[in-house]
Amino acid sequence: MGAATETFYSVIRRQGITRRSFHKFCSLTATSLGLGPLAASRIANALETKPRVPVIWMHGLECTCCSESFIRSAHPLVKDAVLSMISLDYDDTIMAAAGHQAEAILEETRAKHKGQYILAVEGNPPLNEGGMFCIDGGKPFVEKLKMMAEDAMAIIAWGACASWGCVQAAKPNPTQATPIDKVITGKPIIKVPGCPPIAEVMTGVVTFITTFGKLPELDRQGRPKMFYSQRIHDKCYRRPHFDAGQFVEEWDDEAARKGYCLYKMGCKGPTTYNACSTVRWNGGVSFPIQSGHGCIGCSEDGFWDKGSFYDRLTNIKQFGIEKNADQIGMVAAGAVGAAVAAHAAVTAVKRLASKREDADHNS
Amino acid sequence: MMDAIAPGSDGRPDLSAIAADAAGERAVGRPTVYVYEAPVRICHWVNAFSILVLMVTGYFIASPLPTVAGEASDHFVMGYIRFAHFAAGQVLAVFFLTRILWAFVGNHHSRQIFYIPVHRGQFWKEVLHEIRWYAFLEREPKMYVGHNPLAQTAMFTGFTLFVAFMIVTGFALYSEGMGIDSWQHKLFGWVFAIWPNSQDVHTWHHLGMWALVMFVLVHIYAAIREDIMSRQSIISSMVSGERQFRD
């Protein structure tokens, strides 16, 4: 069963490597690192006894695009991540076990690896109507999530759903879908936003945790700094066109064919933190801007509720009819200007009138 | 100026002491008070110019000029516009800070735009009087050496608070380009705790610009109007520092 403690050594043996070769590897590693004569046995001991990090992967309200992305990772290959680096004990979408057998793994992991396992959550729990909009194994997902979070070492919030809420939390959010960090408190939460996140970013986060045995450094929003500290705009290969003032003015114009900046077409690159413009997608083949479409800001908070993907200035819905900052500002400034002009006119008339009065009075 | 004229028995300048010109036209001496010290005036005009540059360049950052033809390496239009915006923003920040520091060492007029004496009933009574004056319900304006109470309220909210908001959100947005290790991000990154998506910060910063446009309209109108109507100098006071009372 998946929840049985498995060490790196047993994985290495399973992949057909002899114990003899394993010890050679440990000696060679110790020698090449310039460590003392005892180091080889210490390395061997660590690999033989250190369990692989158990991972429980749960699914709430989501579309499985995170899983779809994850299984396409090229560096490292997802098979290496799932079969060698971590011990993916539970993932209801891709696991062989089902029903009571699958549910038993959750209990087993919780008991056996208390405070040791990583809880990876794809999607988020809806809280409305007692959480009944997402039932998992006969229980509201939110209850299951809270139960598994209690004894987890850390939580990975996969994707925009778990990190921010995404489409199911877009206005008016009828199911009250809520991001993980608003439901679970008191546990370290790593947000890996994106819809979906980049495959290599996902496996990169997993690799970091298993290799170093600690969580990666996070930014203010709880995202790993190594992937989310810069905007798409900062590393965009079309950035020189932005600085030059060369923009696509409408779809399929000459500028679009020349690959100019998509800023005026509403590209959200300048407000979106992600690694798309450096890591790219599908093994580094391309990313949205490279294929001629602006960034829609899928790794940002509430990106469904920030107006059209194709507007530069955000629509402000609070004004009933959707208007952007310029339209509202111009109307307001126009009104103030008109009021000033009217006030000036009344002042002038009053002044003339009072002068005439004074003149009449004096004469 | 006032020193040159010996005051008469009623405390007003003794005009008979002033010589008449060849045509017999008499010079008129007017009571003058030194209100705006040099640092206040310098800050005023530097800030005014910075805000003008910031408004124009800020508008063109949000709605860029039409595309320029040719190679990208031949142009730097957005680059220059953004540079002007960032430079003017930092000048504004420095002089706004200087202005705050001056409030501690300057005369009591220099402190006026940084607070509203909300606890004083008399203040609000006079605000009401000023509102009535602007609503054409009072025939005579009151005279103040510094800002009138309504002007003080408007300066505090329309200028001090709005500009502070623009500086804070502006530096937060600037920190996005400077990176999360920059001092800008360390000092102003908390803005993104309020609005996690910086698209919202852009929108608020943009609305702030329009709020300042409205402030500028009212500010300039009121200055011109009061210069004419309130029988005291307003505009030239911000050049010379002296407020002259004309009757």
Are the CB atoms for B41 and B239 separated by under 8 Å? yes
Q: What residues in B contact A297, CB-CB < 8 Å?
A: 197, 199
Confidence of residue B2 (pLDDT cuts 50, 70, 90): very low
3-state secondary structure chain B: CHHHCCECCCCCECHHHCCECCCCCECCCCCEEECCCHHHHHHHHHHHHHHHHHHHHHHHHHCCCCCCCCCHHHCCHHHHHHHHHHHHHHHHHHHHHHHHHHHHHCCHHHHHHHCCCCCCHHHHHHHHHHHHHHCCCCCCCCCCCCCCHHHHHHHHHHHHHHHHHHHHHHHHHHHHHHCCCCHHHHHHCCHHHHCCCHHHHHHHHHHHHHHHHHHHHHHHHHHHHHHHHCCECCCCHHHHCEEEECC
Interchain CB distance below 8 Å, B75 and A245: yes
- Give yes or no for residue B4 having a pLDDT over 80: no
Measure the CA–CA gap between A135 and A58, rounded to whole angstroms: 12
Give the residues across from A119 on adjacent strands.
A56, A155
Are the CB atoms for A275 and A229 separated by under 8 Å? no
Interchain CB distance below 8 Å, B206 and A329: yes
Interchain CB distance below 8 Å, A219 and B78: no
- Give yes or no for residue B216 having a pLDDT over 90: yes
- φ, ψ for residue A285, nearest 5 deg: -70, -50
Nearest alpha carbon to residue A86 among A119, A53, A122, A120: A53
Confidence of residue B22 (pLDDT cuts 50, 70, 90): low
- Nearest neighbour of B136 by CB, restricted to A271, A340, A346: A346
Interchain CB distance below 8 Å, A302 and B197: yes
Q: What is the DSSP letter of A84?
A: I
Looking at residue A179, its pLDDT comes to 96
Residue type, A273: Y
Looking at residue B229, its pLDDT comes to 85
Residue burial A201-234, b: 16+ Cβ < 10 Å; e: rest: bbbbbbbbbbeeeebbebbebbbbeebbbbbbbb
Give the residues across from A120 on adjacent strands.
A57, A156
Interchain CB distance below 8 Å, B198 and A229: no
- Give yes or no for residue B3 having a pLDDT over 60: no
Looking at residue A338, its pLDDT comes to 93
Q: What residues in A contact B176, CB-CB < 8 Å?
A: 231, 270-271
- Give yes or no for residue B16 having a pLDDT over 50: no
Measure the CA–CA gap between A113 and B143, rounded to whole angstroms: 79
From the CA of A310, how many Å to the nearest CA of chain B?
A: 14
Interchain CB distance below 8 Å, A240 and B72: yes
Residue ranges of chain A whose pLDDT lies below 70:
1-5, 319-321, 362-363
B162-178 vs B198-229: helix crossing angle, rounded to 10: 150
Write the CB contacts of A176 (distance below 8 Å, at least 6 apart in sequence): A126, A127, A128
- In which element (H, E) is residue A122 found? strand A118-122
Looking at residue A38, its pLDDT comes to 86
pLDDT digits (tens, 9 = 90+) for B59-111: 999 999 999 999 999 999 999 999 999 999 999 999 999 999 999 999 999 99
Measure the CA–CA gap between B152 and B146, rounded to whole angstroms: 9
Looking at residue B24, its pLDDT comes to 67
Q: What residues in B contact A234, CB-CB < 8 Å?
A: 177
- φ, ψ for residue B233, nearest 5 deg: -75, 140
Cα A211 → chain centroid: 22
Q: What is the DSSP letter of A256?
A: H
Q: Which two tokens stand for residue A200?
A: 């290599």
From the CA of B221, how many Å to the nearest CA of chain A?
A: 7
- Give yes or no for residue B6 having a pLDDT over 50: no
pLDDT digits (tens, 9 = 90+) for B140-168: 888 888 888 999 999 999 999 999 999 99
- Nearest neighbour of B199 by CB, restricted to A229, A268, A351: A268
| Preceding omega of A76 cis (within 30 degrees of 0) | yes
Q: What residues in B contact A227, CB-CB < 8 Å?
A: none
Helix (H, G, I), strand (E, B) or coil at A249: coil
Interchain CB distance below 8 Å, A337 and B217: yes
- In which element (H, E) is residue A91 found? strand A86-91
What's the mean per-residue pLDDT of chain B? 88
- In which element (H, E) is residue A354 found? helix A325-362
Residue A306 in contact with partner chain B when CB distance is under 8 A: yes
Residue A72 in contact with partner chain B when CB distance is under 8 A: no
Interchain CB distance below 8 Å, A333 and B73: no
Looking at residue A83, its pLDDT comes to 76
Its ipTM equals 0.85
Looking at residue A161, its pLDDT comes to 96
Looking at residue A322, its pLDDT comes to 74
Measure the CA–CA gap between B163 and A158, rounded to whole angstroms: 39
**What is the reported pTM?**
0.86
- Nearest neighbour of A301 by CB, restricted to B73, B75, B197: B197
Q: Which two tokens stand for residue A119?
A: 């809880």
Residue A303 in contact with partner chain B when CB distance is under 8 A: yes
- Give yes or no for residue B20 having a pLDDT over 80: no
Interchain CB distance below 8 Å, A220 and B193: yes
Bridging pattern class, strands A315-316 and A323-324 = antiparallel
Interchain CB distance below 8 Å, A344 and B209: no
- Nearest neighbour of B199 by CB, restricted to A241, A243, A297: A297
Residue type, A324: N
Measure the CA–CA gap between A289 and A267, rounded to whole angstroms: 8
- φ, ψ for residue A89, nearest 5 deg: -80, -30
Looking at residue B8, its pLDDT comes to 42
| Preceding omega of A196 cis (within 30 degrees of 0) | yes
Interchain CB distance below 8 Å, A314 and B200: yes
Give the residues across from A155 on adjacent strands.
A119, A189
Residue A315 in contact with partner chain B when CB distance is under 8 A: no
Looking at residue B173, its pLDDT comes to 96
Measure the CA–CA gap between B120 and A36, rounded to whole angstroms: 79
CATH class label, B37-234 = mainly alpha
Confidence of residue B203 (pLDDT cuts 50, 70, 90): very high
Looking at residue A355, its pLDDT comes to 79
Residue with the two structure tokens 């999530």:
A145
pLDDT digits (tens, 9 = 90+) for B173-195: 999 999 989 999 999 999 999 99
Q: How far is CA A334 from CA B57, B213, B215, in A?
A: 20, 10, 12
Helix/strand/coil percent split, chain A, to 5:
50, 15, 40
From the CA of B223, how many Å to the nearest CA of chain A?
A: 12
Interchain CB distance below 8 Å, A244 and B72: yes
Q: What residues in B contact A316, CB-CB < 8 Å?
A: 203
Residue burial A297-318, b: 16+ Cβ < 10 Å; e: rest: bbbbbbbbbbbebeebbbbbee
Q: Taking the CA atoms of chain A, what radius of gyration do you get in angstroms?
A: 29
Looking at residue A211, its pLDDT comes to 75
Q: What is the DSSP letter of A90?
A: E
Q: Which two tokens stand for residue B222?
A: 């009121």
